Amino acid sequence: MDREKVTQNKWWKSAVIYQIYPRSFADSNGDGIGDLRGIISKLDYLERLGIDAVWLSPVCKSPQDDNGYDISDYQDIDPMFGTLEDMEELIREAGKRHIRIIMDLVLNHSSDEHRWFQEAKKSRENPYHDYYVWRDGTEGVFPNDMRAAFGGPAWEWVPEVQQYYFHQFSVKQPDLNWENPRLRREIYDMINWWTAKGVGGFRLDVIDQIAKEPDKKITNNGPRLHEFLRELSRETFQKADLVTVGEAWGATIELAKLYSNPDNSELSMVFQFEHIGLDQVEGKEKWDLAPLPFLKLKEVFARWQSGLHGKGWNSLFWNNHDLPRIVSRWGNDGAYRVESAKMLAILLHGLQGTPYIYQGEELGMTNVQYEIEDYRDIETLHLYEERLKKGYSREEVMRSIHARSRDNARTPMQWSDGENGGFTKGTPWIKVNPNYRQINADGQLGDEDSVFSCYKNLIRLRKKYPVFVDGDFQMLLMEDENIFAYTREHEDSRLLVVCNFSGSTVNCPLEEPGASMRLLIGNYREEGPISTLRPYEARMYLSVQREI
């Protein structure tokens, strides 16, 4: 079978996507906040890394209550980030470098400062009233006991209409009512407007929550979710060659097959989190820290790899703007920072799916341990107050924050060892990680052994060998407590990936790869026998039989 057929000619299956959190990427005008012109100035860097597309966290107009995930105008750029012209220039300049721009669509809720909501709260008769989710009640008596993700009740009273509105996130993020066809039409028109501007795709924020039914306390996976998604896709995405990715915390493999059905009826791929939430106390919150159950991690990856093969498409990621830095979390950000960052990269990039690199991950950037005054994230700040009130000790709360705060991912990109890591000439909106003098892009670009070079090589390999895109998956040594090893096969090529997930030297019972296996990439200079894996050692081999 020829490759085009197997991959169904979808460019995004062999693509690697790079996520930019604009306010922390590069500041062009010295106000301490990253912006679009800053991104334009770094496109050559991204081209050098070799990525195919950039997922931009929201840059639309927003009061920034949740750093842009609260949009007050979907068809304008926030002045903090630049202008619509800057955005058009970014799309154009990226295009010249074969990089597509993926926008972040926040469609579950808008900002309370959006014109729709301003109208909606004026009266029950207002044509925009029904764009949001309202329930009657009396002040002080909530419609039910649902809680918002950032703390407090999920209901807010509006005296003008004598009703509560529903918000799954902050009070400044009222939920949109997808039951209303006029709202849906406005959303489609807005998306088509962006498509006409040349964007390459969309990432759909908490998309599994749009079909909420608060009376039944249903937040995600509501009964009408896939009906809404199919209509959305038909009216927008299917008209162009776009990549679409849905953030879905509640996705199972069965649901993921719907989201990412190869018939293209919904989205290109799903962005699900089952692997990334394993190191917390079961049934509790992410702040309730527990060691990583390594065997479970392997089981989850194996299940998703086999479950979606030929039936759907997954995202591959360790990091994003909501997650701590992976090298600090499951690697070692001390003595083995470089080795473990590369091991995690090699492990992930050998799998089936579309890899996402979150800004700074390609440098092995780490978590921070700030005092509470230095945190900016709404979720972190709420958590701090809430847990202190509940009687947790300050030390305990700070331990959770150091491990899990979203600000771990949001400290400025470390470009150089100059002032503020080269991120800004002004005062950064959030402190730069003090390790920028050791960890920065300048120090890594020209170094063949850097974490950056490892990512660059992995991206190149993925494009070269179809086995990365189409190969099936077989986990090896499933019961091994330290080693993550797997093979992938496609036609006559076989990929073998062997990773030591621990900081000790371990014995590996796998056979030495034969003469037909070539080492594609590893993270130690000298190749040794596979029977002894050094701390965090990772190796990727490929065998290609000669064509007849």
Which entry of 247, 266, 407, 480 is annotated as an active-site residue? 247
Alpha-carbon distances, residue 394 vs 246, 279, 288, 382, 401 (angstroms): 36, 21, 14, 14, 10
Counting residues that bind ligand GLC (by CB under 6 A) gives 9
Which entry of 156, 205, 274, 333 is annotated as an active-site residue? 205
27 binds ligand GLC (CB under 6 A): no
Q: Which residue is nearest to Ca ion (CB)?
A: 35
Query: For residues 65 and 279, which CB has a smaller minimum distance to ligand GLC in the complex?
Result: 65
Q: Of 348, 352, 368, give the one whose Cα is nearest residue 410.
A: 368
- Cβ atoms of 405 and 384 within 8 Å: the answer is no
- SS (HEC) of 213-274: EHHHCECCCCCCHHHHHHHHHHHCHHHCCCEEEEECCCCCHHHHHHHCCCCCCCCCEEECCH
Alpha-carbon distances, residue 29 vs 91, 141, 416, 423, 425 (angstroms): 20, 48, 17, 11, 8
**CA distance linking residue 425 with residue 42, whole number of Å:** 16
Of ligand GLC, Ca ion, none, which one does residue 31 interact with (CB within 5 to 8 Å by kind)?
Ca ion
What is the nearest approach in angstroms of Ca ion to the Cβ of residue 36? 9
Q: Which residue has the tokens 């092995």?
A: 364
Q: Tell me whether residue 235 is one of the annotated catalytic residues.
A: no
What is the nearest approach in angstroms of ligand GLC to the Cβ of residue 316? 17
276 binds ligand GLC (CB under 6 A): no
293: amino acid identity, one letter: P
Q: Which residue has the tokens 């169904």?
A: 8
What is the nearest approach in angstroms of ligand GLC to the Cβ of residue 410? 10
What is the nearest approach in angstroms of Ca ion to the Cβ of residue 25? 10
Q: Tell me whether residue 247 is one of the annotated catalytic residues.
A: yes
Q: Footprint of ligand GLC on residues 132-171 (CB under 6 A)?
A: 169
66 binds ligand GLC (CB under 6 A): yes
**CA distance linking residue 376 with residue 406, whole number of Å:** 9
What is the nearest approach in angstroms of ligand GLC to the Cβ of residue 119? 22
Q: Which residue is nearest to ligand GLC (CB)?
A: 69
Q: Footprint of ligand GLC on residues 197-236 (CB under 6 A)?
A: 205-206
- Cβ atoms of 143 and 135 within 8 Å: the answer is yes
Query: For residues 28 and 110, which CB has a smaller minimum distance to ligand GLC in the complex?
Result: 110
Query: For residues 206 and 506, which CB has a smaller minimum distance to ligand GLC in the complex?
Result: 206
Bridge partners (DSSP) of residue 355 are 316
29 binds Ca ion (CB under 5 A): yes
What is the nearest approach in angstroms of ligand GLC to the Cβ of residue 184? 19
Of ligand GLC, Ca ion, none, which one does residue 86 interact with (CB within 5 to 8 Å by kind)?
none
- Which residues are catalytically annotated? 205, 247
- Give the residues lining the site for Ca ion (CB under 5 A): 27, 29, 31, 33, 35
